[in-house]
Structure 1
Amino acid sequence: MQLYQSQQLSIYNSLTGKKELFKPINEGHVGMYVCGPTVYSNVHLGNVRTFMSFDMVFRYLKHLGYKVRYVRNITDAGHLENDADAGEDKITKKARLEQIEPMEVVQRYTVDFHNILNTFNFLPPSIEPTATGHIIEQIELISTIIENGFAYEINGSVYFDVHKFNETHEYGKLSKRKLDDLIHNTRALDGQSDKKNPQDFALWKKAEPQHIMRWPSPWSDGFPGWHLECTAMSTKYLGEQFDIHGGGMDLKFPHHECEIAQNEAAKGNSPVNYWMHANMLELNGQRMSKTTGNTVNPDELLSGNNSFFSKAYSPSVIRFFNAQSSYRSVLDLTDDGLLASEKGFYRLMDAVNLLNKINTSNNSTFDIPTWKQKCYDAMNDDFNSPILIAHLFEAGKFINQIKEGKASITKDDLNLLKITIHNFVFDILGLENTAESNTNSDKLSGAVDVLIKLRQEARVNKDFALSDKIRDELAAVGIQLKDGKDGTTFSIN
């Protein structure tokens, strides 16, 4: 018997606004699609949070014994600036600015995306399709939508007719928006265009002469609309109806709303049973933004080479920090929060490492089977990782009590505890045991602190030659000193 047959998993469904008992379309099998990155720049830390949350979902579903087909796409064409139907393609713009080919941009940032996710110990998806690899499927989908009367072609571009669709369907049911309100709040499209209504969205865009990324179609040489890509790729690999569709909260409208409309217009049914949305990542209480400078990328967080954090943090500490908050909650990334998570992570790892040194007894003073089910109950409650971690700390406390002679455990219970800890800490949360490397890190930190104090003494004594030598020789081996109003800190590059 598979675990999923004895566990009742509930998922918060964004479509209905409530938690629902999870029942896959095909017993024992799960189809899950998550919107992947548009590969025109280094992957954003907020995106990493979203993908990390769904990596945990993927891991738990696999742990329960489901055969999971996890599809996460790569958008390598068709995503215009400001998520709009007009403007420059994000990838083409990057290629123009860097004076390279668009597919060089795609390759560079796809490699970066994979490297970052590997660093954070992600499991690879089952399938990772690209938008440019599915142009034929997208053209066929557009033709079907036109035939069904829900799209129109004008001047070589094809647009989805939202008003026509809304006569027989409900546009806005995922984001809880009414079309009348959208009409009222839409500005006039001065000189834009071709659309019958501002709410209509592009299925195919005719390429301007300077547009490099273009493909032949029945309507024009052009490129597909951003929303269409995910509909084509998800249904190709998961079927016209599948179990779970995930993504960031920012994609709920219009991207996911348009996906539903496209599928209903082409296939006659809503594509997804459970819509899941991961919430946003903030930095020091404010939205991350490149324009305001309130942003940090994953490499900067991992290396400590940034102006926001006092030190570098390991990938597992960042994963642990992420898991201490529900995937549906806004998560505020702060130095204090990461420092606290780091202490908690190593406290948990210390307890895990103690397991191999524990002696057994004739009785257990802790109900391991009941505790184990509490761990499952937490994850079964819409993947409630913060509650799971609280239970893991409860076990850690018990492990330390055994070490101190204040508690006891039988051999069978110890084996069950070891297996359960391993399953939840490593297989499901995806953490890696870096306690040994943390000991080495502490020793390195202590040595650098000694050099920082010597440098400070040299500066007080006006021995600037020695002060500069300490700084420069540390920099030569990859240790960067940063002088600030609160003293000197260091990062490892």
Structure 2
Amino acid sequence: MKQQDLFIYNSLSKSKEKFVPITEGAIGMYVCGPTVYSNVHLGNCRTFLSFDLIFRYLKHLGYKVRYVRNITDAGHLENDGESGDDPILKKARLEQLEPMEVVQKYTVDFHTVMAKFNALPPSIEPTATGHIYEQIDIVEKIIEAGFAYEKNGSVYFDVLKFNETNNYGKLSGRQIDDMIANTRELAAQSDKKNPQDFALWKKAEPQHIMRWPSPWSDGFPGWHLECTAMSTKYLGNQFDIHGGGMDLKFPHHECEIAQAEACNHVTPVNYWMHANMLTLNGKKMSKSTGNFILPDDMFTGENNILSKPFSPTVTKFFMYQAHYRSILDFSSDALEASEKGFNRLMDAYRMLSDLNASEKSSVDIEGWRKACYDAMNDDFNSPILIAHLFETVKYANAITEGKETISEKDLALLKQTMHDFLFDVLGLEESVLENSQDGEKLNAAVALLIKLRNKARADKDFAMSDKIRDELASKGIQLKDGKDGTTFSLN
């Protein structure tokens, strides 16, 4: 149910704008997916989880969302997609595999990791290799419009010609003169009219395995072209939201805008959204320096960077405690604090089922609920939402202790709202431990200790009672005494 106006930070206007979909009640959203030549890393995961949150919330508001997220399995060269090795081919040579074996291996890895994070699959997940025809068709239209040229079997987008009547650089804020000054010398640079021109189609060298016939040569599409082809094929020449990592703003997304405007003569996207990067212990994640960690290494604890394993849900909860547009730093201390917070929140949620309702409420649940929606309607502000959800811990404890009261209607609203935001919007999962055999054993063991502690208190053996409580606390198990008995939580 839609609560109020939704505002989204638009990278194109560099401001928050009221969201108005092209078609009432329906949204088209495209997000640049992974290049599948290696295991998906945490920086990628943060971007995709940011848009999973956005996808979930838009669906929660009642919109019909067509979410398209591609798989880049061809055409993404090194050096900003202009020259060098295709990373998939490079990995195929290293692992002595067919390129499509590499694609399959790491596509499966990507899907497996995202499933562990409980991310929803997109509505459509097209591949670059599955849309070669559409990409050739766009190149032909851009040439016909006068914004591209062929040289030695490759086709390049004429940025200066396009900029005469359009604004190349409007997304990134870059000026053409600055782009010329900062353009690196790349292989086949001499084929270009201007150094900032980018490839729409590349002629394949003899050793290049992945190639397709075209009017210009046997070759492969430019990296930027594939997203223009797939986004417009499934969402139309104009659609609502285009997302990706901050690092894709230039040149990738800038080139997408230019291609689409040159081909279709309309601005393709109304709202451009970009998720920010992750750092690790205050430094940029980098495989070359060893300052990186893969998701599965976090989940198993098999790494030399973090102090202990962290579950996918805790990791995701930690990510959502920062706004998607802010830089987020991973560290053991921050993750451990987030894990404790997550456990407190889950404890509070479970406590709601044991609360006794009164005739009247002394807590303002309607106001609290509105504040939750206000946070998400303000550019999907998950950290503010989570701060409001933590107020439930205070409510649950105060009501349990008889300091506050809650009516049956408000209690039902509180439970439903918590469920909606925790599980439907944030996509969190309750502790795996709770549902495992180990969890059952832990529950039984703590229940026995609580029983022994209750007997000690009844016998006025307060030293033993305190010892049981303190020993459990030292192991991260917090006992809570309430009017309905003693419960425990993991800290």
Could you tell me the TM-score, scaled by structure 1's length? Answer: 0.88
Q: Unaligned 5+ residue runs, structure 2?
A: 446-491
Asked if 1:138 is matched to 2:131, the reply is no
The equivalent of 2:364 in structure 1 is 367
Deviation track 1:174-227 (CA, whole Å, cap 9, x = no partner) reads 000000111122345577431111100000000011110000000000000000
Aligned to 2:409: 412
Which among 183, 202, 207 is matched to residue 210 of structure 1?
207
Paired residue secondary structure (1:376):
helix
Residue 64 of structure 2 is aligned to residue 67 of structure 1: yes
Q: Which residue does the alignment assign to 1:123? A: 120
Query: Which residue of structure 2 aligns with residue 108 of structure 1?
Result: 105
- Identify which of 272, 277, 280 aligns with 1:275: 272
Task: Quote the residue 1:251 is aligned against.
Answer: 248
Residues 230-379 of structure 1: pairs in structure 2 closer than 5 A: 230-379=227-376
**What one-letter code is carried by the residue in structure 2 that aligns with 1:253?**
F
| Range with bigger deviation, 56-65 or 177-186 | 177-186
For the structure 1 residues 294 and 443, does the alpha-carbon distance in structure 2 shift closer, same or farther, using more than 3 Å as the test? Answer: farther
Q: Secondary structure at the match of 1:277?
A: strand
The equivalent of 1:220 in structure 2 is: 217
Q: TM-score, normalised by structure 2?
A: 0.88
* 2:444 is equivalent to residue 436 of structure 1: no
Q: Secondary structure of the equivalent of 1:11?
A: strand
Matching of residue 387 in structure 1 with residue 384 in structure 2: yes
- Give the corresponding residue for 1:484: none
Q: Distance in 1 between matches of 2:176 and 2:7?
A: 31
Report the AA paired with residue 230 of structure 1.
C
**Distance 1:443-1:199 versus aligned 2 partners, 3 A rule:** farther
Cα distance in structure 1, aligned partners of 2:114 and 2:312: 10
Task: Indicate yes or no: 2:34 matched with 1:37.
Answer: yes
- List per-residue Cα deviations over 1:379-415 (Å, max 9, x = no partner): 0000000110111011221011111221111111111
The gaps in structure 1 that reach 5 residues or longer are 448-493
One-letter code aligned to 2:42: L
Aligned-partner SS, 2:195:
coil
Deviation of the 1:365 alpha carbon: 1.2
Q: CA deviation at 1:86?
A: 1.3
For 1:76-103, what per-residue CA distance to the aligned partner results, in whole angstroms no more than 9, with x for missing partners?
Answer: 0001123231111110110011111000
Taking the aligned partners of 1:427 and 1:396, their CA distance within structure 2 comes to 20
Whole-Å separation in 2 of the counterparts to 1:276 and 1:33: 10
Instruction: Name the aligned partner's letter for residue 387 of structure 2.
Output: A
- Give the letter for the 2:434 counterpart: E
Tell me the SS of whatever aligns to 2:164: helix
- 1:409-467: CA deviation from partner (whole Å, max 9, x where unpaired): 111111111110000111000101116259947988xx9xxxxxxxxxxxxxxxxxxxx
- CA–CA distance in structure 1, aligned partners of residues 87 and 185 of structure 2: 24
36-45 or 428-437, larger mean C-alpha shift? 428-437
User: In structure 2, what residue type is equivalent to 1:260?
Assistant: I
Aligned length: 442
Q: 2 CA distance for matches of 1:384 and 1:438?
A: 33
Question: Which amino acid is 1:196 matched to?
Answer: K
Residue 75 of structure 2 contacts residue 220 of structure 2 at CA under 8 Å; is this kept in 1? yes
Q: Percent identity?
A: 71
For residue 95 of structure 2, the aligned residue among 98, 102, 119 is 98
Secondary structure of 1:193's match?
A: helix
C-alpha distance in 2, partners of 1:58/1:348? 23
SS of 2:350's equivalent? helix
What is the alpha-carbon distance in structure 1 between the residues aligned to residue 344 and residue 214 of structure 2?
59
Q: Which amino acid aligns with 2:364?
A: D
| Correspondence for 1:157 among 154, 157, 160 | 154
SS of 1:362's partner is coil
The one-letter code of the counterpart of 1:143 is E
Aligned counterpart, 1:54: 51
Structure 1 CA distance for aligned equivalents of residues 275 and 441 of structure 2:
38
Q: What is the CA–CA distance in structure 1 between the aligned matches of 2:177 and 2:156, rounded to whole Å?
A: 19
Letter matched to residue 282 of structure 1: T
* Counterparts of residues 8-23 of structure 1 (less than 5 Å): 8-23=5-20
Give, in whole Å, the separation in 1 of the partners of 2:440 and 2:330.
23
